[in-house]
A and B are shown apart, each in its own frame.
Chain A
Amino acid sequence: QVTLKESGPALVKPTQTLTLTCTFSGFSLSTSGMRVSWIRQPPGKALEWLARIDWDDDKFYSTSLKTRLTISKDTSKNQVVLTMTNMDPVDTATYYCARSYGSWYSDFDYWGQGTLVTVSS
């Protein structure tokens, strides 16, 4: 059974750095073709893809946010970590991690429940 769960602070102040952890089970990120992405959704708004890390440690970032994002993995702990620097109130959103497996264009077939992060002083 594949599960993913996001964890991190519910509230961060403007200019702070956000660190989110995705802890998963039911698959290994060392398996060829396995990938984990971070996706966010501001309240009442659309989904926005942020970053992806692949089984071979390839990393991809949203063009608009790449200067603020870092994604990493700890295969032994079954975790993927996303850091986002210089947080702003517009970054208030539910942050999801999601798995994709197989082809470059495979769907996000399993999602975490999401974690709401509010940016406010």
Chain B
Amino acid sequence: NFMLAQPHSVSESPGKTVTISCTRSSGSIASNYVLWYQQRPGSSPTTVIYEDNQRPSGVPDRFSGSIDSSSNSASLTISGLKTEDEADYYCQSYDTSNWVFGGGTKLTVL
């Protein structure tokens, strides 16, 4: 099994841009899609990115996803930060029969 490593926390000011990384421990990041979920306190997670860089309907285009094979990592970038973006963010991927979540990153917008 592989693991997905995320920074424990990031913080940035409203209006700025923040990037959250997700590094795969073994196997290629490009071999399986990466998804990103947002979880606000007291709520269930919701999808903000699927298939590496696709946004579900209703997710603003301030959210974008990418992968970088050279660092074997995926990234979630949020531009034009709003206070409502403050939440925990989890990356997720899979292999043949396991679905793996990253450790989560707490985003503070201050």
Residues of A at under 8 Å CB distance from B?
Answer: 37, 39, 45-49, 52, 60, 62-64, 96, 98, 104-109, 111-114
Say which one of B15-23, B71-79, B97-105 lies at the interface with A: B97-105
Q: Is the CB–CB distance between A62 and B50 below 8 Å?
A: no
Q: Chain B 79-101 against A: per-residue CB contact (8 Å), 1 yes, 0 no?
A: 00000000000101010011111
What chain B residues lie within 8 Å of A52 (beta carbons)?
Answer: 99
Q: Is the CB–CB distance between B50 and A60 below 8 Å?
A: no
Q: Which of the residues A49, A106, A111 comes within 8 Å of B101, measured between beta carbons? A: A49
Bin chain B's interface residue count. 20 to 34
Q: Does B47 contact A (CB under 8 A)?
A: yes
Number of A-B contacts (CB under 8 A): 54
Q: Which of the residues A47, A60, A104 comes within 8 Å of B90, measured between beta carbons? A: A47
- A contact face: mostly helix, strand, loop, or mixed: loop
Q: Is the CB–CB distance between A46 and B103 below 8 Å?
A: yes
Q: Which of the residues A45, A106, A108 comes within 8 Å of B45, measured between beta carbons? A: A108
Question: How distant is the Cα of A49 from the Cα of B3 in the complex, in angstroms?
Answer: 12
- Minimum Cβ distance to chain B for residue A107 (Å): 4
Q: Is the CB–CB distance between B47 and A60 below 8 Å?
A: no
Q: Is the CB–CB distance between B44 and A37 below 8 Å?
A: no
Q: Is the CB–CB distance between B101 and A105 below 8 Å?
A: no
What chain A residues lie within 8 Å of B98 (beta carbons)?
Answer: 49, 60, 62-63
Q: Is the CB–CB distance between B101 and A107 below 8 Å?
A: no
- Minimum Cβ distance to chain A for residue B92 (Å): 8
Question: How distant is the Cα of A109 from the Cα of B51 in the complex, in angstroms?
Answer: 13
Q: Is the CB–CB distance between B101 and A48 below 8 Å?
A: yes
Q: Chain B 3-39 against A: per-residue CB contact (8 Å), 1 yes, 0 no?
A: 0000000000000000000000000000011010101
